């Protein structure tokens, strides 16, 4: 079948009142899970991903293969490609865009600043331009980040807190993304929902994140580096399990465009909303390590270092009462049981048998 036919088949909802969703970053960690969840309940889903090599592209291809099995077509393409977007929006009238494509990671920005500008700013604008010119316009739900709270010291972090102290270029581009989407909301009437994810983890996760690389090194008998804050205080993160995040994303899509605006600043006919999606239960990095050791049945070789001040923040902690009220968001998986699920996936994906210490496939 032609490209248009493939895209249209994938975008067609199976159930009455089903959504038709474009998921950018669909072969990424969160994108894969969100795409599957939507497809499983009968929505139509088309993915878009550029399969860049920020981390192992073979993991992205494996996720794509899983999506293909579930009849989700993933286009190999870039959000900066305006012509591709025009062709796609010509072929399909999407009801929603779930925008997850981005240059993620905090430390990578030190060496690769322009990668963040390209995907998180220029790419975002190209995508919003395409959405804006559709009639009717799709409702946009996109991933901001807890990193916008930066060096905020008031906990837990609430959506109404000032976000004027970003600690990394990544955080700065997410914060700028909130301003950019807000502008498209009030000038062009685009319905916007920004989701501030808090440290998402789970099966099919991102190899650049600490829980993943710790698992890899512990299993290979290699040392892991644990950073401490300047005053010797342990770093802490509000780790949020992928299934909880997916529920928050799906609820955001379901309520997008229908909001009364009480979920955020309502500045035009269409809603502009921002929600924290976290777990409200921060865990220190040493505790994360000890949970992994218990699950892997291997002792970690820990090298402690002072945090080098390259973009990491000392702690994150979400107040989720707004998402609870507006989206019915209610995280149910704690770090202990979520990591058990991650370790089980990791062992099976990388070909470890039992809990023996074997090298990676
Ligand atoms: P990910 O890197 O696994 O997924 C992003 C995907 O987007 C990748 O598959 C990548 O190939 C694709 N991509 C990047 N630039 C692109 C471009 N220009 N065009 C097309 N595709 C492109 O990351 P993730 O963890 O799944 O994150 C999803 C979103 O959530 C991102 O916007 C990220 O910034 C945000 N976020 C994630 C976390 C987390 O803890 N995982 C926390 C806060 C925010």
Per-block average pLDDT, block size 10, for the chain (361 residues)? 96 94 98 98 98 98 98 98 98 98 95 97 98 96 97 94 95 98 96 98 98 98 92 92 98 80 51 97 97 97 90 94 98 98 98 61 42
* Domain 3-200+240-277 classification at class level: alpha beta
What does residue 197 show for φ and ψ, rounded to 5 degrees?
-70, 145
Residue 140 to residue 117: CA distance in whole angstroms? 20
277, 248 contact by CB (below 8 A)? yes
What residue owns the CA closest to ligand 1's atom 3?
Answer: 28
197 Cβ below 6 A of ligand 1: yes
Q: How many CB atoms lie within 10 A of CB 265?
A: 15
DSSP line for 248-293? HHHHHHHHTTT--STTS---SSS-EEEEEE--S--EEHHHHHHHHH
For the chain, helix, strand, coil in percent to 5 are: 40, 15, 40
344 CB contacts (<8 Å, ≥6 apart)?
A: 203
219, 352 contact by CB (below 8 A)? yes
* DSSP secondary structure code for residue 137 in this structure: P
What residue owns the CA closest to ligand 1's atom 9?
Answer: 28
Residue 357 to residue 277: CA distance in whole angstroms? 35
Q: Given ligand 1 and candidates 100, 108, 148, which is best to mutate, with the most ligand atoms within 8 Å of its CB? A: 100
DSSP line for 3-19? HHHHHHHHHS-SSTT--
- Backbone conformation region of residue 77, classed left if phi is above 0, alpha if psi is from -120 to 50, else beta: beta
| 355 alpha carbon – ligand 1 mean position (Å) | 30
Which atom of ligand 1 lies nearest, measured to the CA of 197?
A: 43
160, 216 contact by CB (below 8 A)? no
Q: Residue 361: what pLDDT? A: 42
Q: Residue 279: what pLDDT? A: 98
Q: Given ligand 1 and candidates 26, 29, 60, 170, which is best to mutate, with the most ligand atoms within 8 Å of its CB? A: 29
292, 302 contact by CB (below 8 A)? no
Nearest to 95 by CA among 226, 234, 269, 257: 257
According to DSSP, the β-strands at 236-237 and 283-284 are antiparallel
Domain boundaries, the chain: 3-200+240-277
Residue 159 to residue 163: CA distance in whole angstroms? 9
Which atom of ligand 1 lies nearest, measured to the CA of 52?
A: 11
186 CB contacts (<8 Å, ≥6 apart)?
A: 267, 268, 272
Cis bond upstream, residue 136 (ω within 30) = yes
User: Is the CA virtual torsion 144, 147, 149, 154 positive or negative?
Assistant: positive
Residue 246 to residue 250: CA distance in whole angstroms? 6
Query: Is the ipTM above a cut-off of 0.90?
Result: yes
| 25 alpha carbon – ligand 1 mean position (Å) | 6
pTM exceeding the 0.90 threshold for the entire prediction: yes
- Altogether, the residues listed in the chain come to a count of 361
Residue 155 to residue 150: CA distance in whole angstroms? 12
Q: Residue 258: what pLDDT? A: 56
101 Cβ below 6 A of ligand 1: yes
| Residue 38, SS3 per DSSP | helix
222 CB contacts (<8 Å, ≥6 apart)?
A: 216, 301
């Amino acid at each position: 079948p032609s490209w248009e036919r493939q895209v249209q088949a994938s975008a067609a909802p199976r159930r009455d009142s089903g959504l038709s969703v474009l998921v950018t970053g669909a072969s990424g960690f969160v994108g894969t899970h969100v795409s599957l969840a939507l497809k499983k309940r009968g929505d139509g889903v088309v993915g878009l991903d550029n399969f860049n090599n920020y981390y192992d592209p073979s993991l992205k291809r494996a996720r794509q293969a899983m999506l293909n099995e579930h009849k989700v077509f993933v286009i190999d393409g870039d959000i900066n490609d305006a012509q591709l977007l025009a062709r796609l929006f010509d072929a399909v009238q999407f009801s929603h865009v779930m925008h997850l494509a981005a240059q993620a990671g905090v430390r990578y920005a030190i060496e690769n600043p322009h990668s963040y500008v390209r995907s998180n700013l220029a790419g975002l604008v190209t995508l919003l331009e395409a959405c804006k010119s559709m009639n009717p316009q799709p409702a946009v739900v996109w991933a901001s980040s807890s990193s916008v709270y930066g060096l905020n010291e008031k906990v837990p972090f609430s959506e109404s807190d000032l976000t004027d102290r970003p600690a990394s270029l990544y955080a700065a581009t997410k914060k700028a993304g909130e301003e950019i989407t807000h502008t498209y909301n009030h000038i062009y009437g685009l319905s916007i929902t920004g989701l501030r994810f808090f440290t998402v983890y789970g099966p099919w996760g991102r190899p650049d994140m600490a829980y993943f690389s710790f698992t890899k090194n512990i299993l290979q008998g290699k040392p892991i580096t644990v950073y401490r804050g300047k005053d010797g205080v342990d770093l802490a993160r509000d780790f949020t399990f992928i299934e909880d995040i997916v529920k928050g994303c799906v609820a955001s899509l379901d309520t997008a465009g229908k909001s009364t605006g009480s979920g955020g600043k309502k500045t035009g006919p269409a809603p502009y909303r921002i929600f924290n999606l976290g777990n409200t239960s921060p865990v220190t990095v040493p505790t994360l390590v000890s949970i992994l050791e218990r699950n892997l049945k291997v002792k970690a070789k820990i090298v402690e270092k002072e945090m080098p001040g390259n973009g990491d923040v000392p702690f994150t902690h979400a107040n989720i009462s707004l998402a609870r009220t507006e989206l019915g968001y209610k995280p149910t998986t704690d770090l202990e049981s979520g990591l058990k699920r991650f370790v089980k996936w990791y062992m099976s994906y990388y070909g470890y048998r039992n809990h023996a210490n074997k090298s990676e496939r």
